[in-house]
Amino acid sequence: MAITRLTLAPLLLIAAVILSTETSAQPAAPAPGPAGPINLTAILEKGGQFTTFMHLLKITQVGEQVNIQVNSSSEGMTVFAPTDNAFQNLKAGTLNKLSADEQVKLVLYHVSPKFYTLDDLLSVSNPVRTQASGRDNGVYGLNFTGEANQVNVSTGYVETRVSNALRSQRPLAVYVVDMVLLPGEMFGEHKLSPIAPAPKSPSTGVSDDDTKSDSTKKAAASPADKSASGERRVGLGFGFGLVVLCLKFLF
């Protein structure tokens, strides 16, 4: 019995693969294609390491704004999404020290009101406007420099690489950055030095929470931390469910 199951399993698997490729070849197959409205949160969620940025997009309502504007603007948009790691590398309390308006500005600074491919960014004329620039062209811009297909972005205060794209089709491009783009206008003159001197990986969460309980009003990052673990748990559950489902299908 066990032997027949073992020999059957690969056959069933092949059958399943054939079936699934056949169904996905159908035009009605569900796919993250261009159909339907663009949802920035859904794109970031799939990326799996953007819980803090997603949280900020939500509390500042910039995420919704992007979804609406990307649908209505002919220029498209580009979003630079800092990883959770990028936020963890900020000195504890950096976000909490910002006023609500400054938090909005910081998030808007990660969004440009134009669609750029990586090639565009290699040769774009600086500075590039962001949503934080508003009508004032000279401020809250980003500078891009390229060398051998590697694009760097500079805020005048920090510089980092523009890494892979979570999405690169018109009208929305979403690129991963491994530093939070701290605007020179906000951090340059001040001596906030928001980059932590030495990122201590497991203990930062504890010290973070300590400082946050002091300033509970503008807690921007701590709720994200909580939802982060929650979402991870949901993710695990979903993965496990899939495995169970596959096993059931096979036997």
Q: Which long-range contacts (CB under 8 A, 24 or more apart) does 32-39 make?
A: 34/169, 37/67, 37/71, 38/67, 38/70, 38/71, 38/171, 38/172, 39/67
Per-residue binder mask for ligand NAG (CB under 6 A), 32-51, x = binder: -----x-x-xx--x------
* Rounded CA separation 49/54 (Å): 10
DSSP 78-141: EEEEE-HHHHHTBPTTTTTTS-HHHHHHHHHTTEESS---HHHHHHPPSSBP-TTTTT-TTSS-
**Closest distance of CB 124 from ligand NAG, Å:** 11
Helix axes of 222-250 and 204-214: crossing angle, nearest 10 degrees: 130
Site for ligand NAG in 161-180 (CB under 6 A): 161
Phi, psi of 237 (to 5 degrees): -60, -40
Torsion of CA 224, 226, 231, 233, to 10 degrees: 160
Q: Which is nearer to ligand NAG, 192 or 218 (CB)?
A: 192
Q: Which is nearer to ligand NAG, 1 or 148 (CB)?
A: 148
Q: Which stretch binds ligand NAG (CB under 6 A): 64-72, 169-177, 198-206, 226-234?
A: 64-72
Q: Binders of ligand NAG: how many residues, by CB under 6 A?
A: 23
Q: Which stretch binds ligand NAG (CB under 6 A): 21-29, 65-73, 129-137, 196-204?
A: 65-73
Q: Which is nearer to ligand NAG, 161 or 232 (CB)?
A: 161
**Closest distance of CB 62 from ligand NAG, Å:** 14
Q: Which is nearer to ligand NAG, 139 or 165 (CB)?
A: 139
**Closest distance of CB 176 from ligand NAG, Å:** 13
Q: How many residues does the chain have?
A: 251
Q: Are 159 and 152 in contact (CB under 8 A)?
A: yes
145 near ligand NAG (CB under 6 A):
yes
**Closest distance of CB 43 from ligand NAG, Å:** 9
**Binding region for ligand NAG (CB under 6 A):** 37, 39, 41-42, 45, 68, 71-72, 126-127, 141-143, 145, 147, 152, 154-156, 159-161, 184
